[in-house]
Structure 1
Amino acid sequence: MSKTAIITLAVLLAIIGVIASITSRAEPPRQEQAKPAYPAHIELALYQRGEDWQKKYSTALAPEIKNFGVSIYKTQPFESNALPSAIVDAGGVRTVIPNALSIMATDDQDRDVGITIIDINARVKNGGAMSHDEARLYILDLVEKFTALGWKTAFSFNKPRLSGIHALNYYGADDLDPNYKLSFAEWMQLDGSLNWELYLNHTYMRVTVDRDQDHLDPNKPGAYIMSFTIEPHEEVQRMYVDEKERDHWRQLWIPIARKLRSERNIKEATLKAQGIPIVSDYKDPELPPAPPGQQNPVIPKDLQ
């Protein structure tokens, strides 16, 4: 290529570069893709179809995960300044859990019954470091709101029926009375996770409070998080028998209940002898309605 041709080519390339530069400056700046607007409230119910929940909140939920006969549906990470409320339908009663950090629903695909477990993690108040008393008052107020809706304490069939300070002394943090307002001193003395077992309309809810174990100085801020596990009564009852027998657990229930009740009676007799009152008017929840083709056993007098 001649020297003249080389110079001509260089000039052309320079001109093209200038035009491209001018054009690029003239183009409007590209806008970042807008993040999806997540709803302020996310509702779900036990035995609801997971795929229906996914369709309703498609922008808020991550892709479905299939694993060993179940499908798991989880929410996407939320903006920390715009956490939604989770609203769970428990037999027609809508229970609101504010500041949900994550919501997960497990759909039992093998049995084709829909969602059988709901797990929710929630922020305590505004999150971050806060005084222990601030956290205590917020959490106890939330538990009080649950009891106002009708949620009541639920005892395992073999556990003694205790309330208030007596439940606190016996169970510690494992099974707190939702109607007992823990003092600040009691709150700080409890070890490990704090738990309330609640029941309403054939639905169980376990409320758990975890706190940073390295920041338990009552005079300094702590860090808290709450979790909620919600299950149908039917699914809880099924766990009392071996997996292969769970579809007909009702046929096996009476001897199991007698064994568990005997354990409770022995424990309660020991406590009574020590002068500790028993909540004798507490009755175990009635068995959940039987599915088509089955019926609940007749409960004998010694188990009523």
Structure 2
Amino acid sequence: MKSTFVSGIFICLLSVCSSSHPEGASLPSLPLSINEPPEKLLRDHGNLINVVKQGPGVNFYTAQWAQQTPGSVTIQPGKFQFTIPYVLGLQGVEETRAPAEGLVQYEIFAAITGPDLIGHDEARQKFFVLLQGIRKAGWTPFIDRDDPRIRDRQRLEYVLKSSSASSLDPDYEPTLAEWMQLEDLSRWTFYADHAYLSVAFKREASLRDPDKPGAYLLTYTLMSENQHFRTYVAPKDRDRWKELLPATLKELQAQRQQAEKAWRLKGASIDEGYVDPPAPRL
């Protein structure tokens, strides 16, 4: 479901995407709050939202904007709010087996700039302006719980050589050559107020020459605390995630200790001051 939606949105960067909003219309920013009841989202913004029911377990709440008139979304977890510009689409997730949690996840799909192609170095610079905006809003960089607590270029080296799925350091801006080495869906993850946010990018496959303009799709994934920790167990075990989480966290901590031991032998500096966000009360 998600990969199809992402692919469709990416095509809109290079072509015309249909929308119910008239050309040139001024669109207010759509506020989104994690754990918001879906009924409230529909009551306040039902003209934008489509509901897709996927049988038992999950419902999706989607919206889409035209390339010529992109929307904007304001993430509102308390005081840590920030606005995402150039939004092309979004998808909210409701876990029907946990109705009291409301909307537990959003994926927001956006361009870096307007509909025109963009130079890769300019994309790199604008992307890091966006990341620094998130930092200034009070979001703290998150290190995956099984990863070594290394920073800056050492983290980039770790991701490039050992773990492409791991989160990068938003306080280290790579060179253009390093930027072009990063794989699609490379991500930067943050934490604030019992919510987790990842920002990832995807390049148009046919436009990867660093000396020519390219096209980028950004994906912002906002998760509630419970939804974040549900991903620590296998999909078939989601109903038992609270039962399985303590053993999983213990295993991840052991993996981090082994990774840090190896990086110390390389002469790396470990950020001993970094502390993982708290796990939920079970």
Q: TM-score, normalised by structure 1?
A: 0.77
The alpha carbon displacement at 1:254 in A equals 3.7
2:158 maps to which of 148, 151, 170? 170
1:73 maps to which of 61, 68, 71? 61
1:91–1:202 CA contact under 8 A, matched in 2? no
- RMSD of aligned alpha carbons: 2.2
Partner in structure 1 of residue 257 of structure 2? 265
Deviations 1:30-63 (A, max 9, x none): xxx995967421011111111210121122222x
Secondary structure in structure 2 of the residue aligned to 1:271: helix
Alignment of 1:28-67 (within 5 A): 39-62=27-50, 64-67=51-54
The alpha carbon displacement at 1:105 in A equals 0.9
2:152–2:169 CA contact under 8 A, matched in 1? yes
**Where do 5+ consecutive residues of structure 2 fail to align?**
1-19
**Match of 1:197, as an amino acid?**
T
| Distance in 1 between residues matched to 2:115 and 2:174, nearest whole Å | 21
Partner in structure 1 of residue 132 of structure 2? 144
Partner in structure 1 of residue 276 of structure 2? 284
The alpha carbon displacement at 1:232 in A equals 0.9
| Distance in 1 between residues matched to 2:47 and 2:246, nearest whole Å | 47
1:243 maps to which of 238, 243, 258? 238
| Distance in 1 between residues matched to 2:103 and 2:200, nearest whole Å | 21
The alpha carbon displacement at 1:275 in A equals 0.4
1:183 aligns with 2:175: yes
| Distance in 1 between residues matched to 2:222 and 2:49, nearest whole Å | 19
**Where do 5+ consecutive residues of structure 1 fail to align?**
1-32, 291-295, 297-304
Against the structure 1 CA distance between its residues 34 and 105, is the aligned structure 2 distance closer, same or farther, given a 3 Å change threshold? closer
Deviations 1:209-228 (A, max 9, x none): 11122222121111111011
1:159–1:264 CA contact under 8 A, matched in 2? yes
Against the structure 1 CA distance between its residues 280 and 52, is the aligned structure 2 distance closer, same or farther, given a 3 Å change threshold? same
**Match of 1:119, as an amino acid?**
E
1:214 aligns with 2:206: yes
Against the structure 1 CA distance between its residues 219 and 109, is the aligned structure 2 distance closer, same or farther, given a 3 Å change threshold? same
1:91–1:203 CA contact under 8 A, matched in 2? no
The alpha carbon displacement at 1:281 in A equals 0.8
1:123 maps to which of 102, 105, 111? 111
Secondary structure in structure 2 of the residue aligned to 1:90: coil
| Distance in 1 between residues matched to 2:69 and 2:97, nearest whole Å | 36
Deviations 1:75-105 (A, max 9, x none): 1x32333222111122442121111100111
Against the structure 1 CA distance between its residues 192 and 60, is the aligned structure 2 distance closer, same or farther, given a 3 Å change threshold? closer
| Distance in 1 between residues matched to 2:41 and 2:159, nearest whole Å | 37
| Distance in 2 between residues matched to 1:34 and 1:189, nearest whole Å | 38
1:209–1:227 CA contact under 8 A, matched in 2? yes
Higher RCO structure, 1 or 2 (CA under 8 Å, sep 6+): 2
1:40–1:83 CA contact under 8 A, matched in 2? no
The alpha carbon displacement at 1:111 in A equals 1.7
| Distance in 2 between residues matched to 1:237 and 1:125, nearest whole Å | 33
Alignment of 1:185-204 (within 5 A): 185-204=177-196
The alpha carbon displacement at 1:66 in A equals 1.5
2:110–2:217 CA contact under 8 A, matched in 1? yes
**Match of 1:205, as an amino acid?**
L
2:143–2:189 CA contact under 8 A, matched in 1? yes
Q: TM-score, normalised by structure 2?
A: 0.83
**Match of 1:286, as an amino acid?**
P
| Distance in 1 between residues matched to 2:134 and 2:274, nearest whole Å | 18
1:226 aligns with 2:218: yes
Partner in structure 1 of residue 91 of structure 2? 104
Deviations 1:172-230 (A, max 9, x none): 25421100111222112323333112111111111111112222212111111101111
Residue identity over aligned pairs, in percent, reads 26
| Distance in 1 between residues matched to 2:21 and 2:83, nearest whole Å | 29
| Distance in 1 between residues matched to 2:187 and 2:21, nearest whole Å | 40
